Amino acid sequence: MGICNSKSSTATKPTNLYAPREEIKEEKPPNVENNTPNHHQQQQQLGQKQKEDLEAGKRSPFFPFYSPSSAHYLFSKKSPAKSSNSSNSTPRRFFKRPFPPPSPAKHIRAVLARRHGSLKSNESAIPEGNEDENVSGLDKSFGFSKSFLSKYELGDEVGRGHFGYTCAATIKKGDLKGQKIAVKVIPKAKEHAPAIHEAHGALDDLPIDRRARHRESSHNDPGAMTKAIDTDEHSIPGPRGKMTTAIAIEDVRREVKILRALTGHDNLVKFYEAYEDHDNVYIVMELCEGGELLDRILSRGGKYTEDEAKAVMVQILNVVTFCHLQGVVHRDLKPENFLFVSKDENSQLKAIDFGLSDFVKPDERLNDIVGSAYYVAPEVLHRSYTTEADVWSIGVITYILLCGSRPFWARTESGIFRAVLKAEPSLDEPPWPSLSSEAKDFVKRLLNKDPRRRMTAAQALSHPWIRNYSEVKVPLDILIFKLMKAYMRSSSLRKAALRALSKTLTEDELFYLKEQFSLLEPNKNGSITLDNIRVALIKNATDAMKESRVHDFLASLNALQYRRMDFDEFCAAALSVHQLEALERWEQHARCAYDLFEKEGNRAIVIEELASELGLSPSVPVHAVLHDWIRHTDGKLSFLGFVKLLHGVSSRTLAKVQ
First to last CA, the chain: 34
Quick one: DSSP state of residue 61?
S
Domain boundaries, given as residue ranges, for the chain: 142-286, 489-524+559-657
Q: Rounded CA gap, 380 and 449, in Å?
A: 11
Percent helix, strand and coil across the chain, each to the nearest 5: 40, 10, 50
**Residues in Cβ contact with 611 at an 8 Å cutoff, skipping those fewer than 6 apart:** 620, 622, 625, 626
Q: Rounded CA gap, 84 and 299, in Å?
A: 27
Tell me the percentage of the chain whose pLDDT exceeds 90. Answer: 55
Predicted structure pTM score: 0.75
Give me the mean pLDDT over the 221-234 stretch. Answer: 38
Q: Is the pLDDT of residue 97 over 60?
A: no
How many other CB atoms sit within 10 Å of the CB of residue 15? Answer: 13
pLDDT, residue 58, reads 43
**∠ CA 330-334-338, rounded to 5°:** 85
**385 φ/ψ angles, rounded to the nearest 5 degrees:** -155, 165
pLDDT tens per residue, range 2-43: 444 444 444 444 444 333 333 333 444 444 444 445 555 555
Give the side-chain half-sphere CA count within 13 A for 436: 11
Q: For residue 186, what are the β-bridge partners?
A: 281
Which DSSP string corresponds to 123-142?
S-----SS----GGG-----
Sheet holding 180-187, edge to edge: 152-160, 165-171, 180-187, 280-286, 271-276
State whether residue 421 is helix, strand or coil.
Answer: helix
Q: Rounded CA gap, 208 and 358, in Å?
A: 17
315, 348 Cβ separation under 8 angstroms: yes
Q: Out of 125-134, 174-183, 631-640, pick the least confident.
A: 125-134
pLDDT tens per residue, range 575-627: 999 999 999 999 999 999 999 998 887 878 888 888 887 777 777 787 787 88
Which DSSP string corresponds to 579-595?
HHHTSTTHHHHHHHHHH
Nearest to 658 by CA among 610, 607, 616: 616
Q: Is the pLDDT of residue 131 over 60?
A: no
Q: Is the pLDDT of residue 298 over 60?
A: yes
Q: Rounded CA gap, 249 and 193, in Å?
A: 21
Q: Rounded CA gap, 550 and 501, in Å?
A: 28
Tell me the percentage of the chain whose pLDDT exceeds 70. Answer: 70
Catalytic sites, residue numbers: 332
pLDDT tens per residue, range 320-334: 999 999 999 999 999
**Residues in Cβ contact with 404 at an 8 Å cutoff, skipping those fewer than 6 apart:** 223, 224, 225, 297, 301, 302, 303
pLDDT, residue 109, reads 55
Give me the mean pLDDT over the 177-205 stretch. Answer: 62
Q: At what angle do helices 567-574 and 492-502 cross, to 10 degrees?
A: 100
CATH superfamily ID and name for 142-286 = Phosphorylase Kinase; domain 1 (3.30.200.20)
109, 98 Cβ separation under 8 angstroms: no
pLDDT, residue 32, reads 43
Question: Which band of pLDDT confidence, cut at 50, 70 and 90, is reported for residue 46?
Answer: low
pLDDT, residue 52, reads 54
**Residues in Cβ contact with 95 at an 8 Å cutoff, skipping those fewer than 6 apart:** 75
Strands 527-528 and 565-566: antiparallel
Q: Is the pLDDT of residue 89 over 60?
A: no
Residue 360 vs residues 114, 294, 326, 574: alpha-carbon distances, Å: 22, 28, 9, 21
**Residues in Cβ contact with 186 at an 8 Å cutoff, skipping those fewer than 6 apart:** 163, 164, 241, 242, 243, 252, 280, 281, 282, 283
Q: Rounded CA gap, 479 and 576, in Å?
A: 9
> Which H or E run contains 566?
strand 565-566
pLDDT tens per residue, range 467-476: 988 778 999 9
Q: Out of 11-15, 60-64, 191-195, pick the least confident.
A: 60-64
pLDDT, residue 617, reads 77
Q: Rounded CA gap, 570 and 484, in Å?
A: 8
Q: Rounded CA gap, 536 and 32, in Å?
A: 86
184 annotated to bind ligand: yes
Which DSSP string corresponds to 426-493?
--SSTTGGGS-HHHHHHHHHHS-SSTTTSPPHHHHHTSTTTTTTTTPPPPP-THHHHHHHHHHTS-HH
pLDDT, residue 602, reads 80
Q: At what angle do helices 413-422 and 104-115 cross, to 10 degrees?
A: 120
pLDDT, residue 247, reads 87
